[in-house]
Structures are given as structure tokens and as C-alpha cells.
A and B are shown apart, each in its own frame.
Chain A
């Protein structure tokens, strides 16, 4: 250590002392950071929370044109069995008009185009949009309408009007068979 100091710093005693102080202070800084990290990390989701529980949803009973709401990771998930008309409306909408352009095809599984699975949380400030029940308003685009601040989503769950910045999120899901999907 002494050799390195003599080579790196000029011979004056004052600068050598500053070097020692600097090295010591840096070690202390590393130490403080190392101590702070576990506290901060402990507030992140714990392993049991992260171990995604999956939800199996029976979609057999959902008639064409109806929708159900299921819970997954504490959030509402809208599962809608879309009519052909709704699919056509979604596919013919011009992408240039959209705030968050996405094709309808990219939001559903190939061969299962009538099934739309979205997270039922408005991307504006987190309210649950209306449109699941037959009596609910569906907004100007036939999808969902958020009563909190007036966001309108279309039949693909995309934001078309109102303050929300993004389309309704698509959760990870897969068809285990024709009558069942596994979310998460």
C-alpha cells in the first residue's frame, strides 16, 4: 500500500494524507450503499408474491357477444367472446387515428380471434371501465367506457378517445384447450 501511494501521489505529506482520506471515504461510501440496499430491496415484492399464481378460466359458458370478469394477481381481467361485427369494427379501424396504434390481430391469439382478454384497468388513472354487463354504456366505439374521466376503448380494447395514454393491457395467457384459458 505504501509503495503504491509513493508512486501515485507526489511525495508531499499533505497529499498522501488526502489520498488516505479519499480512499477511506470511498470505502465508507461503498459500505453505506451496501447497507442501504437490503432495506430498499426488502420492500420489493417478496418471492411468494412473485411466484405468479395462474388462474384457469372456463370460457365454455361464455356465449358469443358476452363477457366475464375474473381476478388475476388482484386485478380484474375482462374476457370477451366477440361477435363477428365487433371483430370487423376492430380490424377496419384506421391505425393512424390511434394514440397507441396496435393491430387487432396482435392483441388476440391466432385462430381464436373472437376471444379478447384484457386487463380491466383504465390506463389513465386506474379505474375499472364499464362495458362488461349488457346494461353498461360501452362508449362511442362499442368496447368499454371509463366513467372516471371519459376514456373510450374500442372492441379491441384500444384507447380511441379521452385522456388514457395506452390501450388496455393484454395479460400473458394461453389456451389450454378450446374451453379453457390459463392466465399468468
Chain B
């Protein structure tokens, strides 16, 4: 009895320690607490709100894509968000993509296709920095996985622009943000007024709504497989629970006369 209690305590200790691992690994000891956003895609049974994803793409395209690329996605991936083949082709054809060489050996520009990758706003890192006071607007393909706090952090960042508190002097070209580590961020608030982006559905494009939607879209952009992954996980855990019960019964039967 004592022994099994001890083993249990050990196992519990291990699991508790193990569960605290992200806290250990992060090492971030002064980050302000993120607001609770309660995205529908969080949790074991999370699923994407496709309306939010489509609106979020609109925000990305009209606001963010001027500086931030999405180069790990292809235009055809937007089909998953619920856009039709025609809509995707229309989005793709708004950009000019380099192709070639043609039969004269020249590179040329052509309209984008669904199979093309998203076109980045700048040709390379140096061009991006030159256009942004030396700051590099990061590509947003996996941004929600590349930041502690994920989509909640993105939402908080976009809605976290405030005037610098007393005693804080902003460096030239910087903006004060509550949630950005160090609080001084090169990006000016990108979402400043309600109605900045026109929404195709009847949702009101308030700053809060736009921030929420683009954070949802970016969460999807980083993890398009999320729904399939979670649903597979649920099925597998149920399967293993049943198999575990069966395996344990078989074990008990085999060991019955030994104990």
C-alpha cells in the first residue's frame, strides 16, 4: 500500500513537473498577463470559426500584407477557409508574380495563380528594413506559434497600443505597446479606427473585432491542420481507453492464479 502510494506520489510529482515545463522553458518573468480572449479554436474540441477566418484574411490583405509576408502559404490554401475556387483565383490574380525564363531567356511578370505562394511585400530582408526604418516586419506564416501566448498575444498586441506612461521616453520611431517585450515596438498601431476594413458579412468591423479576426486567421495560417489533428486525437484517445481496458483484462486473466 505504502509502496503504491509512493509510486503514485512520484508519478504525480513527475506529471506536475512535466506540466509546468512550458513555464520552465519560457523563462519570461516580467511579461504582463494576456487578456482572456476565449477563441473557439482553443481546447480539446476546438474548431475554427470560418467566418472569423475569412474576415481575418480580409484584414490581413488590406492592412497587414503591405508590410508582412505570408510566404509559407499558397493561395490555394485559402480554399480551406471557405473561399471558392473563383474567389481564390481572384485573390491570386491581384498580384504579379515573377516567372521565367521565357524562350528569350528573360524573366517576366505574370498574374498570380492559386498554386503560387503568397507574394511577400518586399523582395528581401534588406528591402524590408530600408522601407521600415531598419525594422524587419516578420513574415506572419507561423507567427502565432513563434510567440509566447499565440493568438491571444497577437490580439493583445494589436489592441495594446497606449500612450507611454509617465517617465518613459520613447526612442525615435518607436511606439508604446503594453504587451510587446520591452514595450517599445517599431510598428505603429495598424488598426486605428472602426470600419478600417470592409467586412463582406454583417459583422461590425470594430478595432476589437478586426484584431480578433486577424488573430484567428493567423492562428489558422500557422496551424491549418488543427481541426483534423484534434479530432484524430479524440478518436485515438477513446480507442486507447477501450484497448487499455481490454489489455488490462487480458493481463489480469493471465496473472489470475499467480498472485
Question: Of the candidates B74, B113, B239, B246, which one forms a contact with A48 in the assembled complex, judged by CB atoms under 8 Å apart?
Answer: B74
Query: Which one, B26-34, B50-58, B203-211, B247-255, is touching chain A?
Result: B247-255
Is B76 engaged at the interface, CB distance under 8 Å to the other chain? yes
Complex Cα–Cα for A23 and B114 (A): 48
Number of B interface residues in the complex (CB < 8 A): 14
In the complex, which residue of chain A has the Cβ closest to the Cβ of B249? A20
In the complex, which residue of chain B has the Cβ closest to the Cβ of A24? B246
Q: Which residues of B contact A51 (CB under 8 A)?
A: 74, 76, 114-115
A43 CB to closest chain B CB (Å) equals 18
| Beta-carbon contact of A27 and B114 below 8 Å | no
| Beta-carbon contact of B115 and A48 below 8 Å | yes
Question: Of the candidates A27, A34, A54, which one forms a contact with B246 in the assembled complex, judged by CB atoms under 8 Å apart?
Answer: A27
Complex Cα–Cα for A27 and B115 (A): 41
| Beta-carbon contact of B250 and A28 below 8 Å | no
Is B243 engaged at the interface, CB distance under 8 Å to the other chain? yes
Find residues 5-37 in chain A having any chain B CB closer than 8 Å to their own CB: 17, 20-21, 23-24, 27-28, 30-31, 34
| Beta-carbon contact of A20 and B115 below 8 Å | no
Q: Which residues of A contact B249 (CB under 8 A)?
A: 20, 24
| Beta-carbon contact of A20 and B76 below 8 Å | no
Complex Cα–Cα for A39 and B206 (A): 46
In the complex, which residue of chain B has the Cβ closest to the Cβ of A38? B232
Find residues 228-247 in chain B having any chain A CB closer than 8 Å to their own CB: 236, 239, 242-243, 246-247
Q: Which residues of B contact A21 (CB under 8 A)?
A: 250
A residues lining the B interface (CB < 8 Å): 17, 20-21, 23-24, 27-28, 30-31, 34, 48, 51-54
